[in-house]
Amino acid sequence: MLVASSGRRSALAVGWIFGFTQFVVGLSWITESFQFAGDGLSALAWPAIAGLSAFLAIFPAIAAFFARCFGPDRRAVILAFPVCWTALEVARGTLFTGFPWNLTAYVWGVSDETMQAASVFGSYGLGLATITLFTAPLLLSLRYPNWKCRAATIGTIIAGTILLWGFGAIRLSQAVETDVPDVRLRLVQGNIPQYQKWNPVAARGILDRYVNLSRQPGSVQPTHVIWPETALPVQFGGEPALVKRLLDAVPSGALLFGAVRQAVDQGAGETALVNSLLALGPDGKVIAGYDKRRLVPFGEYMPFKDVLPLKKMTDGMIDFTPGSGAATLDVPGLPRFRPLICYEAIFPHRASDPGERWILNITNDAWFGTSSGPYQHFLAARFRAVERGLPLVRAANSGISAVVDPYGRVLMSLDLGMTGIIDTGLPAPLPNGSVYGRWRDLWSAIAATITIGLALRSARHTGRN
Query: Cβ neighbours of residue 77 under 8 Å, at least 6 residues apart?
Result: 2, 3, 67, 68, 70, 71, 455
Could you give the C-alpha distances from 292 to 56, 208, 340, 342, 380, in angstroms and in order? 24, 26, 8, 9, 18
Residues 394/342, Cβ–Cβ less than 8 Å = no
Among 32, 89, 229, 356, the one annotated catalytic? 229
**Active site annotation includes 342:** yes
**Active site annotation includes 285:** no
User: b/e for 214-247, b at 16 or more Cβ within 10 A?
Assistant: beeeeeeebbbbbbbbbbbbeebeeeeebbeebb
**CA–CA dist 165, 341 (Å, integer):** 31
Helix axes of 45-56 and 58-68: crossing angle, nearest 10 degrees: 20
Helix axes of 118-141 and 373-388: crossing angle, nearest 10 degrees: 110
Tell me the three state secondary structure of residue 217.
Answer: coil
E-strand ranges in 190-228 read: 224-226
Tell me the three state secondary structure of residue 339.
Answer: strand
Look up residue 281 and give its amino acid: G
Among 84, 89, 292, 300, the one annotated catalytic? 292
- Strand 420-427 and strand 179-189: the pairing is antiparallel
Residues 278/286, Cβ–Cβ less than 8 Å = yes
Residues 194/373, Cβ–Cβ less than 8 Å = no
**Active site annotation includes 344:** no
Query: Cβ neighbours of residue 57 under 8 Å, at least 6 residues apart?
Result: 15, 16, 17, 18, 19, 20, 22, 23
**CA–CA dist 403, 249 (Å, integer):** 21
Among 89, 197, 342, 356, the one annotated catalytic? 342
What is the set of active-site residues?
229, 292, 342
